[in-house]
A and B are shown apart, each in its own frame.
Chain A
Amino acid sequence: MALDRAAVAHIAALARIRLAETELAPLADELSQIIDWFEQLSELDTSTVEPMASVAAAGLPMRDDRVSDGNCREAILGNAPRVAPAAAERGFFAVPKVVE
């Protein structure tokens, strides 16, 4: 089996998804089954093949460094689950305190 419970807990922490203790074993089974299925790729010798990230033509298009949008704070904050209560007029997203 590719993944044990500790490995699943580690991945879930990296992905910022809280898992209950009881979810670890079934997920370890499921994910291991999928990862085992990936192993067939090792049959292919790809040592001389360049990785392909995209089919789009290489190189990103350039544009002038000019402001093309903006002044839409209300629209941006409009979907926020919480806006800073004491400073709502200043227009901030509110998050739990991160500095003591």
Chain B
Amino acid sequence: MPVRRVGAPTTGEAAREALDRAALARAWATPPGWLGWLTSANHKSVALRYIVTAFGFFALGGVLAALMRLQLAHPESRLIGPDLYNQIFTMHGSTMMFLFAVPVMEAMGIYLVPLMIGTRNVAFPRMNNFGYWIYLAGGLMLWTSFVLNIGPDTGWFAYVPLSGPAYAPGKRVDIWAQLITFTEVAALVAAVEIVVTTLKMRCPGMSLNRMPLLVWAMLITAFMVIFAMPAIMAASTMLAMDRLVDTHFFNPAEGGDALLWQHLFWFFGHPEVYIIFIPATGFVSMIVSTFARRQIFGYPAMVLALIATGFLGFSLWVHHMFATGLPMLGESFFTAASMMIAIPSGLQVFCWLATLRGGRVVVRAPLLFALGFIALFVLGGLTGVMLAAVPFDLQAHDTYFVVAHFHYVLIGGALFPLLGAILFWLPKMCGRLPNERLGRWSFWVLFVGFNVTFFPMHLLGLGGMPRRVYTYATDAGFATGNAAASVGAVILTAGVLLFAANIAWTLRRGAPAGDNPWGGETLEWATSSPPPIYNFAYLPTVDGQAPLWSPHERPVVTGLRTDVREILITDAIDATPDHRQRLDGASIWPLLTAMAGTAGIVTALFTPWGVTIGALLLLVTLTGWFWPRAGHDHAEQAP
């Protein structure tokens, strides 16, 4: 291992390492077969499962988008009726935001953070497994209900009173409210994992100021999740209660308030988009530094920019409500905050540009995605500054101008970095190199297709086309823009298929990747591709920000037991070793707990007794989960 020594190991050391690796492989092994798949406590396999599932939902959401573009390609089209169209755009937004964007970012964190900080697993391996199952249950519930015509149809933000008991009959909105429950529990689980792992399990020497920028991004994102999710959990619970048990949270005639929903939702909703964006900036930082062959310019500034973005993200939410008639002075505060957040984001962009300027750039497909991100995100950010101003927002709010803006910052600002990150870390995950030509082609087709689809939407919005309309009049003047956008959607789809083809090709025919095919500087490149289940034979130590680029060798951690799952807990600030910790292995209880929770939540759609049923079932499964194990201190495998 490069971190370990210069020159070849002695025969004795090599033999000892081989024995240690064999012991670690046994200690950390997952049971074989499908039982192992259901009970896995390996952060990498759970994370990969999460990423694959999230991309599956991305594909489904993309199909919905294609249907919308098909319907809107011609004026007064009768292809899709209003009821189905309302379900489609609601499902598109909910799938992309709740089932794809946040989960995939957190899953990348679950995969990469332990590797980047030099430890063997996440802090709570079984809870990690539980998080995946509860996420999958939520996604399956939503999509099954869509197939059964119970898909939610009041938009991904479900404003009351339209989504309330009087105007949304049936169970559609209840399904949406419970989707929130599932996905927010999963998001909180992953966030807690990332926070605890990052703060307590970093390898010795990796003080906070030596953490890779991606780890900083994930840490800040995780804190944002913890603070933002409760708002929407409260809101969706209140809505479910209004609909099921006759409460009046949002009934103006009985003391409730329709605007309360909007405040609660957007207090979550705005940080949500930064939860999606900040990990993407982490990806870009890693990709740019690797391919510019130098560390990111201005590390302290970048960290402060991330922290500032995280904080400021919580002070912007009213900019979604400028048309509701709130007092002007209050709205001005939110204009100021919404414009101010452009400063840390701009600082990050300038630092990346400086990195490229001061480095020796090698262009590969992952870097193309990062560069495309810079172009698209700056454009999207500029339209965001326009929308931050109340006067202009009063014209552009709820029009296709906003649709264009948020797709620029979400696709350009988050999906492009994500795709670049997939290509970048694919060799690490599967041990094979992606096809460079397919990578470049997929980038260009995606870039062109994206711009052809979404740029005309700025013009459509300025021309007066509102959002969430299933059709428009022939004489409204929207036909050309919509036709162009629909053509762009075809190109965009081709780009997605090319990217998928690259992944498929890589898995089948990709050239074997060594430990560090791109020449990266962080610790995940110091182990094999794919990493062994125990990540590192010996946990590394670091004394700088770019351990693999430093000229001298570093000692490794020895003395941890190899016959049980033992890791090293370090101090939160300076990462000095503190104590050893025994982690748990594979267990069926997370799956059973997820099933119990699912049973309770789904029953609660129909009767409040579901809460009681769920609580009783959870009592049983949580007891099983936390039952103290006899022989925990002996070298025994958990079942």
Q: Do the two shown chains form a genuine complex with each other? A: no
Interface residues of A (CB under 8 A from B): none
Interface residues of B (CB under 8 A from A): none
